[in-house]
Amino acid sequence: MDEWVQTGLFTEQVSVSEIIAGVDEVGRGPLCGAVVTAAVILDPSRPIAGLDDSKKLSEKKRNALFDEIREKALSWAIGRCEVAEIDELNILQATMLAMQRAVAGLSVRPTLVLVDGNRTPDFGCPARAEIKGDGRIAEISAASILAKVVRDREMVALDALYPGYGIAGHKGYPTKAHLEALQKLGATPIHRRSFKPVRDCLEAEELA
């Protein structure tokens, strides 16, 4: 039976028995660190106020929602692909694999997976890509918050292991400061060798 129900941040006609998992990723663009994904199935009986695209939220708000999502969601899971996998597969395929790992980690089997972006991997169940879904669909918003908080905290920890690159600030993205540090200090084990600025740095080191 289909009814008009509130699902996520908008109202649409879906089956009342539909179990929706939202999926999002963080970390496709950085020069270092893992790509991190999250999958979340929300509990309709325990609504969470303030969900939105994680990039639009303050760090304080993200951290508060991070705890609330983990407490109230029917199920949530984190998926990831490490630097070696990114270099072997390419970042797109690594992101798709990390998404599959997140959904596979859910303790509740979804009947529909909604993915932020314009493509989805094979989850073994119906799935749909949603452009800018992280700002429109609560399940994806929740996933974006979990993924970003997890990865941001990891990058702060990595900054302590590899000082001088400013990783805690730029989270591995190719900022001017990061590129200058890369040229000055060289690549670390957490840098993605398949990404051009890192590859260029390594080639320059070989020629020196």
Inform me whether the pLDDT recorded for 1 exceeds 80: no
* pTM of the entire predicted model: 0.90
What residues contact residue 54 under an 8 Å CB cut-off, 6+ apart? 24, 26, 62, 134, 141, 144, 145, 147, 148, 149
**Mean pLDDT of all residues in 6-31:** 75
Inform me whether the pLDDT recorded for 86 exceeds 80: yes
What is each CA distance from 24 to 36, 53, 158, 176, 191, in whole angstroms? Answer: 9, 10, 22, 27, 22
**Mean pLDDT of all residues in 178-206:** 95
- CA atoms of 208 and 205, how far apart (whole Å): 5
Q: What is the pLDDT of residues 25-83, one digit of tens each?
A: 999 999 999 999 999 999 999 999 999 999 999 999 999 999 999 999 999 999 999 99
- CA atoms of 185 and 30, how far apart (whole Å): 17
Measured on CA atoms in the order 51, 144, 71, 125, is the torsion positive or negative?
Answer: positive
Q: How confident is the model at residue 16 (pLDDT cuts 50, 70, 90)?
A: low
Domains, the chain? 2-161 (3.30.420.10)
Provide the mean pLDDT of the chain: 92
Are 66 and 134 in contact by the 8 Å Cβ rule? The answer is no
